[in-house]
Amino acid sequence: MSRNPFADHNDRDPFADDPFGDSAGNAGTAGDRDAVPLHSVRRSEDQGGFLGGFGGSSYRPVEADMDSFGTEDDSMHKAGGYSAGSREGELRRREEELAARERALQMREANVEAMASGARPALNFPPLYPIMYHAIDAEVPLGDRRTVRTFFYLWLALEAMLVLNSVSCLIVLVSNAADVSNAGASFGSSFVYLFTISAGSFFLWYRPVYNAYMKDSSMFFYLFFVFNGFHILFDAYMAVGVPGAGSAGMIVMLGCLSSGKKAAAAFCGISFSLWVLHFAASLVMYVRVRRHYKQRGHTFSEAKQQAYLGFAQSGAGQAAAGAYIRSNTGTFV
């Protein structure tokens, strides 16, 4: 008689073998057949999931991708914020530059209109006793203002250095250094420099370079080259410090040191250092103006023509021309 497979519940089901059984191939109990051993699950997780043998973990890279996506999105927002802030700053800076240019243009137009109508701008320099009109932002072109302003600062520095030099010479005179000769004559000369060098430097090289950049004039450029060249030599002369020549420079400083006058030597050392720095800065700016002069295509013949024309249009030139005509014709002009 054939056997009913459904009647015998104690027979072994060939499909019920526990694949996670022991190495001997013994089947587990009924409870064991319904559960997966914990140590196998842990081992599968360590290998990257149940599909670890077919290419690694399956769910952890998804979590990593989501995290990195969020981080990249935040970084993009931050970068966008930074770029927006930089664009706003750039726009603000350009607006300020345009406003400054507009103000300068309005000032120049007002000056031109005033001169055309015969009225000159109000005198504003020097502040305590104005004798001329001085406004770099209003009269000098935008690209040349930095150079002209640097020369103005150099002139102001020269005034302060002349005061310090005179004070240093006075301290040397009072200290009565034995190795320093003609201290009295040196102080007297330094006091005279306060007035002569101050006025001469302003009218002989600063004002010419101011007018040269304002009018783009070859004649004023040549005046600057000549007299600023003498000024650079004067800086070197004051740095040397010849006794009795009005300078508290290197030689006077060494004499004070050898005489044990430390305070006087300190003042002379400061004065000497400042003269050297002023010499170097003036030389650099001289070369810069020379380069600008060549780039603009100015020539010496052009400077002579401008000088002749300026003299002919001046009151002295017209008076000289009238006197010459009267001498030849015997008539008054």
Whether this prediction's pTM lies above 0.95 is answered by: no
pLDDT at 14: 55
Q: What is the pLDDT of residues 137-159, one digit of tens each?
A: 989 998 999 999 999 999 999 99
Asked whether residue 115 carries a pLDDT value surpassing 80, the answer given is no
Mean pLDDT value of segment 24-41 = 47
pLDDT at 271: 96
Other Cβ atoms closer than 10 A to 68: 10
pLDDT at 58: 43
Q: Which long-range contacts (CB under 8 A, 24 or more apart) does 49-56 make?
A: none
Q: What is the pLDDT of residues 161-193, one digit of tens each?
A: 999 999 999 999 999 888 888 999 999 999 999
pLDDT at 306: 83
Q: How confident is the model at residue 307 (pLDDT cuts 50, 70, 90)?
A: confident
Q: What is the pLDDT of residues 45-91, one digit of tens each?
A: 444 444 444 444 444 444 444 444 444 455 555 555 556 678 888 88
